[in-house]
Copies of this chain bind each other. A is one copy, B any other.
Amino acid sequence: MNVLLVYAHPEPTSLNGSIRDFAVGRLRQAGHHVQVSDLYAMNWKACLDADDSAAPREPRFNATAASRHAYDHGLQRADIAAEQEKLRWADALILQFPLWWFSMPAIMKGWVDRVYAAGFAYDVGEHSDRHWGDRYGEGTMAGKRAMLIVTVGGWESHYGPRGVNGPIDDLLFPIQHGVLYYPGFDVLPPYVVYRTGRVDAARFADIRETLGRRLDTLATAAPIPFRPQNRGDYEVPALTLRPDIAPGAVGFAAHIDRGDGGQPACGTAEGGSTNSR
């Protein structure tokens, strides 16, 4: 497979740097082709603005219209076009980052904001009262796989079903469902390392073992069974779950098809199991 690893950490000799190096080595040993977008090393421009297009400036900058025009007419900044080309090349995308304030670092959010152009990652397909775009399971990335590698300073229990920070799978839902599944990726359960301040040689050996297994099954592991938007589960254009789909269930978990007949589950800590499970 062709694998694109998008990596956001300011320190090459960090735990994240070691994990990245291990992942790249493991994938290459298995015969995969790997490209790395090291956003800090690339001095990635984080902020979406009018400079992202070579088109003459409109009096009033509209992010979607400008993105669409630049994408359609080959007027995108070269850094954006290059990342899109890597995404087209890739069979699998890995986003690796430390969890900062319960989300990705700004530099990686800026990769999403800018690379995910209108016509490329959104605003794809028919948009009408009958069909609200090719998204959530369809779109440019359909058929490709994606996975998060996330490092977290706190303890696993802090991110458990009743942990104070909220369940990790719910915290990652805006990324896994909203950033990855939206343009069509099949999203594998995330690989999460907790308590990063206390990673000694024994724990790093465990990371190599468990992450190694995850990378070895990148092409075959079952993705999180998010519900495709256009399979019939949702009313259009309201885009709410049909009454007979997971009746009574609300929240993130309702958008995962557990094949359990749609019984509502209390709470939402079900966004895909992590790590070795």
Contact = CB atoms under 8 A, between A and B. Distances in A.
Interface of A: 10-11, 13-14, 40, 44, 46-50, 60-64, 98, 100-107, 109-110, 112-113, 116, 136, 153-155, 157-158, 160-167, 170-171, 173-175, 177-179, 182, 229, 234, 237-241, 248-255, 264-269
The 6 closest A-B pairs by CB, nearest first: A250-B267, A106-B110, A102-B178, A251-B267, A161-B250, A102-B174
A250 B266 CA distance: 7
21 contacts: A10-B47, A10-B61, A13-B60, A14-B60, A46-B46, A47-B106, A47-B107, A100-B112, A102-B174, A102-B175, A110-B110, A157-B238, A161-B250, A164-B241, A164-B255, A166-B177, A170-B252, A171-B178, A249-B267, A266-B267, A268-B268
Contacts of A171: 173-174, 178
A166 to B, nearest CB: 5
Given A106-B110, A155-B238, A240-B163, A251 B170 contact: yes
A241 to B, nearest CB: 4
A160 to B, nearest CB: 6
Given A249-B162, A250-B267, A106 B13 contact: no
A105 B196 CA distance: 27
| Number of identical monomers bound together in the oligomeric complex | 2
Contacts of A116: 101
Contact of A107 (B50, B60, B106, B251): B106
Given A46-B107, A49-B10, A179-B102, A155 B237 contact: yes
